[in-house]
Structure 1
Amino acid sequence: METKGENTGRPTDPARFFTSKTGSNEQIPGCCSIDFTVAVVLPAGGSGERTGLSTPKQFCTFLSRPLISYTIQAFERVAWIENIVIVVAKDSLDLMVNIVQQFSHKKVKVVPGGSTRHRSIFNGLQAFQGRGEGSALKKPKVVIIHDAVRPFVEEDFLLKIAIAAKEQGASGAIRPLVSTVIATTSEGYLDHSLERAKYRASEMPQGFLYDIIYQAYVQCSEADFEFGTECLHLVLQYCGTNARLVEGPPTLWKVTYKRDLFAAESIIKETLSQTACVVTGVCEESTRLACALQKTLRAQDMHVDVISTSLRSSGTFISKDWNFIHVTVKSTCLTDLGELVKTFKESDHAVLYPVVLILVHLDVLEQSSTSERMAALGGIRDLATEAKRINILLYGILLNHIKDAEQWEEAVEHLSQITTALIKDRNPALTGQLLWV
């Protein structure tokens, strides 16, 4: 299965926060210097036994997406990578194809894997030779091999790996050892320990001139296919190519255990929660609240923009955020909120990540009762149910208008805390609830 084309309508990728400051549009230095073709092979045929889960870890989901989709996106957002080959177990082919289609991944070809890691990688490389299912992809100058369960690889490091592979023939990521390595006797006693400073952990990604890694696999033995794990060793043994080793960032870590899935989800939530957009009407009360909310949220290190409803109709404001706070005093606020949900749906903005949409209704009618206030927003649960189907998490907050300056400041601070918690937790169980400040 293969998809092509660019998806220029996508919102900004949260992964940018690993390589640039929030809100920055600066390009990574050197990206434009790539003058050779680069492709990626992602072996994803493992069973993930160490997670203790029945589902292979690459298909485990958090924030409504499987882990492998995040890894694909990490490469998909790199403009100079032309093709991404995903190698999965034969019984997972249909599942992988559905994932590619559901999340509109581009430049992707799915091929069946083999019985071992090396056999699967070789199957992925053969996709560029016209072997296996479907037509051949364009043979790249450099191919990057990466684990499907390392979703946080950074573009600037991929650039280093690709250039080193082009110049040297092979390159690989390394990291300092965390623990001391020891050898044991057959009886289970300490034999000796290694001097940790002299050794490094071999990590992914690894890069190769395509012709070199392909020829290494053509020549390698059945024992290599069956028991080997290190691609860098194959090109050294069969092609005489000694890889250049590049020390990588801490974000290269691999999802291995169940707890790693929770850590990955936490990282994604943290990056998603760094920006927000406050949508407000033109009346004095809502504008005042929006500006006060912007100030308190910025004090919590969140980048917050305020726009008026006059700009909302264009839909262009949704291009960079996954968190929106709709401040209103209108009794018809649910109608406006419904239009906002429709805008998200039409733009496919929530395909990759759940969008948080918080309605903050400022009640300026001093004589209205609590039952009247709640009734005015009684339809929020139904709207939230509809929104959740398209990955939008809708929450409601009812705030009384307070004339006393000190009490007003306390209320805004409380509102800010609730808003921050909803954005960071992204708890689908709370959608449709109407909180009262």
Structure 2
Amino acid sequence: MQQERYSSSDRPLDPGSLLECDAEGSAGRLGCAAVDFPVAVVLPAGGCGERMGLPTPKQFCTILNRPLISYTIQAFERLSWIGTVVVVVAKENHDLMLNIVQKFNHTKVKVVHGGTTRHRSIFNGLQAFSDTTDPPTPKPKVVIIHDAVRPFVEEDLLLKITLAAKEQGASGAVRPLVSTVIATTSEGYLDHSLERAKYRASEMPQGFLYDIIFQAYQRCSEFDFEFGTECLHLALQYCGTNAKLIEGPPTLWKTLSMSACIIAGAEAEAVDLAKTLQKNLNMTTGSNFSEVLDMVKRFENTDHARLYPVVIVWVQLNMTKQSVDSQGTDEMTVFKTLASEIVQGNVLLYGIQIDHSKVIFLMRYHYMC
């Protein structure tokens, strides 16, 4: 049976259209004029999805009838000044990746096998440009390293990273730290904390002169291959190249968070509570547990939870004199069973029961905990 293929007209949505509307217009023309040297991309995609607890590696999860990695590839292929996109996958996913390339008409992709760690996979991707490969792939002046599960990358940022890499030898995107970083003693006590204003979180994409990053990997140690996480550090440590750091947009985060809250009951107190929660949560009001089931089903049908964890909070507010303890025993049993099942699909379900007659006791209980 001939494999189904997508034409350019019926391809799933290009991730670039979710960013700047004229990204391929003015920015594209600027890129063609400014980048007059060969540029390539390495996308390490050898992860197995273990940290997310998914049966399918997240780069191959289907979103709107298209694997996530295909969106990432398209984000680079749409730029005329990028020549080759090397996708590094685990050996067992090689055929799957080739099928994706064929089905979605990716024309700039070369698929290579990854290694046992992220750095080994990146090095394998860089070696795809050596003269010994068949067919040979032209060596770029600048190579961009990016995560296969981050499709929302703007051309303006890629252009800045590329030009800075050409001039400086290495460049990388950074974001402000969200949390305070602390150091601990060997005994488990606080040693000191870092001032967030002075530090940044290193993000992708990162750009390098090809000869510099390739040489850095040739010189790095086995410890770097096994436990290292930062490509910019390798360029600095083994080639003395101090990277230019460029502030990136909020869309660089790999994972996003989304929460939903269900308020059961239509009393005025429930409405007030809902208004408070609505500042930070997507909120809906309902009358019974069926609202929870409906919301869970919607998330499962749309595959949202494959991209980022979904948190659903069911708040049951009792304003009557009847104790919560005597209500809904069977319902709560079903709730607990459902929560334990859907956690495997990256959906976290929490339930909160508030008995108005015991509110003082509950507040003291939480304070003591």
Shorter-chain TM-score above 0.5: yes
Q: Compute the displacement of 1:206 (Å).
A: 0.5
Question: Which residue number in structure 2 is paired with residue 37 of structure 1?
Answer: 38
Question: Which residue number in structure 2 is paired with residue 207 of structure 1?
Answer: 207
Asked whether 1:254 is paired with 2:248, we answer no
Question: Which residue number in structure 2 is paired with residue 142 of structure 1?
Answer: 142
Question: Which residue number in structure 2 is paired with residue 61 of structure 1?
Answer: 62
8 Å contact kept, 2:28–2:79: no
C-alpha distance in 2 between matches for 1:238 and 1:189: 34
Query: 1:390-405 residue pairs with structure 2 within 5 A?
Result: none
Q: Which amino acid aligns with 1:20?
A: C
Question: Which residue number in structure 1 is paired with residue 240 of structure 2?
Answer: 240
Question: Which residue number in structure 2 is paired with residue 125 of structure 1?
Answer: 126
8 Å contact kept, 2:44–2:89: yes
8 Å contact kept, 1:41–1:86: yes
Asked whether 1:76 is paired with 2:77, we answer yes
Q: Compute the displacement of 1:190 (Å).
A: 2.7
Q: Which amino acid aligns with 1:180?
A: T
- Regions of 4+ moved over 4 Å: 7-12
Does the residue aligned with 2:51 lie in a helix, a strand or coil? helix
Question: Which residue number in structure 1 is paired with residue 218 of structure 2?
Answer: 218
Give the gaps of 5 or more residues in structure 2: 1-6, 260-369
Q: Which amino acid aligns with 2:107?
A: K
Does the residue aligned with 2:225 lie in a helix, a strand or coil? helix
Question: Which residue number in structure 2 is paired with residue 85 of structure 1?
Answer: 86
C-alpha distance in 1 between matches for 2:106 and 2:95: 15
Q: Report the CA distance shift for 1:41/1:162 in structure 2 as closer, same or farther (over 3 A).
A: same
* 1:259-318 Cα distance to aligned partner (Å, 9 max, x none): 68x9xxxxxxxxxxxxxxxxxxxxxxxxxxxxxxxxxxxxxxxxxxxxxxxxxxxxxxxx
Query: 1:258-269 residue pairs with structure 2 within 5 A?
Result: none
Query: 1:152-163 residue pairs with structure 2 within 5 A?
Result: 152-163=152-163
8 Å contact kept, 1:147–1:205: yes
Question: Which residue number in structure 2 is paired with residue 50 of structure 1?
Answer: 51
Q: Compute the displacement of 1:189 (Å).
A: 3.5
Q: Report the CA distance shift for 1:194/1:169 in structure 2 as closer, same or farther (over 3 A).
A: same
8 Å contact kept, 1:42–1:147: yes
Does the residue aligned with 1:50 lie in a helix, a strand or coil? coil
Q: Compute the displacement of 1:237 (Å).
A: 1.1
Q: Compute the displacement of 1:157 (Å).
A: 0.5
Q: Report the CA distance shift for 1:124/1:35 in structure 2 as closer, same or farther (over 3 A).
A: same
Q: Compute the displacement of 1:136 (Å).
A: 1.9
8 Å contact kept, 1:19–1:155: no
Q: Compute the displacement of 1:29 (Å).
A: 6.3
* 1:170-222 Cα distance to aligned partner (Å, 9 max, x none): 10111110111112334443322110000000000000011111111111111
C-alpha distance in 1 between matches for 2:189 and 2:29: 51
Q: Size of the alignment, in residue pairs?
A: 253
Question: Which residue number in structure 2 is paired with residue 294 of structure 1?
Answer: none
Does the residue aligned with 1:120 lie in a helix, a strand or coil? helix
Q: Which amino acid aligns with 2:126?
A: L
C-alpha distance in 1 between matches for 2:36 and 2:10: 25
Q: Compute the displacement of 1:72 (Å).
A: 0.6
C-alpha distance in 1 between matches for 2:224 and 2:70: 30
Q: Which amino acid aligns with 2:77?
A: E
Q: Report the CA distance shift for 1:218/1:146 in structure 2 as closer, same or farther (over 3 A).
A: same
Q: Compute the displacement of 1:161 (Å).
A: 0.3
Q: Which amino acid aligns with 1:183?
A: A
8 Å contact kept, 2:172–2:203: yes
User: TM (normalized to structure 2)?
Assistant: 0.64
Question: Which residue number in structure 1 is paired with residue 194 of structure 2?
Answer: 194
8 Å contact kept, 1:128–1:139: yes
Asked whether 1:174 is paired with 2:178, we answer no
8 Å contact kept, 1:36–1:141: yes
Q: Which amino acid aligns with 1:86?
A: V
Does the residue aligned with 1:49 lie in a helix, a strand or coil? coil
Q: Report the CA distance shift for 1:229/1:85 in structure 2 as closer, same or farther (over 3 A).
A: same
Q: Report the CA distance shift for 1:163/1:136 in structure 2 as closer, same or farther (over 3 A).
A: same
Question: Which residue number in structure 1 is paired with residue 313 of structure 2?
Answer: none
Question: Which residue number in structure 1 is paired with residue 231 of structure 2?
Answer: 231
Give the gaps of 5 or more residues in structure 1: 1-6, 263-437
